[in-house]
């Protein structure tokens, strides 16, 4: 689940392996380009952390971040259904 920490929405993800994590990241990257809203993320093997905040709003959480978090959750649901 997403939680707020240090003015960011944060979520940790775990996948079966690096390839699966990277496929998910690719889908999120496509969303980020579409929304012109790019996350901070860190990936080590099968673990991924995404942090969202709006730079133009003083690096704080806005509706833009909450919307993106919801869309990332939908990607995860579709991804896990494959």
75, with CB counted inside 10 A (0-12, 13-18, 19+), is middle
Model confidence over 11-34: pLDDT tens digits? 999 999 999 999 999 999 999 999
CATH of the domain at 13: 3.30.1360.20
Instruction: Identify the band that residue 62 occupies on the pLDDT scale cut at 50, 70 and 90.
Output: very high
Number of domains in the chain: 1
Q: What pLDDT score was predicted for residue 7?
A: 96
Domain range for 53: 3-81
pTM, rounded to two decimals: 0.94
Does the structure show a pLDDT above 90 at 82?
Answer: no
Mean of pLDDT over the chain: 95
């Amino acid at each position: 689940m997403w939680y707020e920490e240090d003015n960011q929405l944060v979520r940790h993800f775990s996948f079966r392996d690096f390839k699966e994590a990277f496929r998910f990241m690719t889908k999120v990257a496509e969303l980020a380009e579409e929304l012109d809203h790019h996350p901070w993320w860190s990936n080590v093997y099968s673990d991924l952390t995404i942090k969202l905040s709006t730079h133009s709003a003083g690096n704080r959480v806005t509706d833009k971040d909450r919307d993106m978090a919801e869309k990332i959750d939908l990607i995860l649901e579709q991804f896990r259904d494959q």
